[in-house]
């Protein structure tokens, strides 16, 4: 799932891209890999790039956003076409708490 937002970092307009990839493991559930980009530049993740849930990914994004003074505009959200329905529902459920807050 690829989600893009427009926003500001320290008062400067910027583009923000969140890429969450589901990596399935046989009989052990799923693992989600997360990549963050600002203006198409890949950023280092502070804790880990791998999470057990989309909610854990979004919590990491929230902490990164807060630490780097990034504000996102919810009305500029754009999603890629290859989004899995269940992942999109989970993302929407946590979006207001972690991303837009």
**Cβ atoms < 10 Å from Cβ of 68:** 12
For residue range 34-60, what is the model confidence (pLDDT) as tens digits?
A: 788 888 888 766 555 677 777 878 888
The CA distance from 38 to 7, in Å, is 10
pLDDT mean over 13-20: 88
Cα atoms in the Cβ-side hemisphere of radius 13 Å centred on 9: 13
pLDDT mean over 25-41: 76
Closest CA to 4 of 95, 78, 66: 78
pLDDT mean over 52-71: 82
The CA distance from 44 to 80, in Å, is 22
Q: Which helix (H) or strand (E) holds 47?
A: none
Entry pTM: 0.77
**Average pLDDT along the chain:** 81
């Amino acid at each position: 799932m690829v989600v893009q937002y427009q926003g500001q970092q320290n008062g400067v307009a910027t583009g923000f891209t969140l890429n969450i990839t589901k990596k399935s493991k046989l009989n052990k559930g799923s693992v989600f890999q997360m990549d963050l980009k600002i203006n198409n530049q890949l950023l280092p993740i502070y804790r880990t790039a791998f999470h057990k849930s989309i909610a854990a990914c979004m919590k990491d994004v929230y902490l990164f956003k807060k630490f780097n003074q990034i504000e996102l505009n919810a009305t500029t959200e754009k999603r890629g076409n290859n989004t899995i329905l269940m992942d999109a529902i989970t993302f929407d459920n946590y979006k207001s708490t972690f991303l837009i807050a």
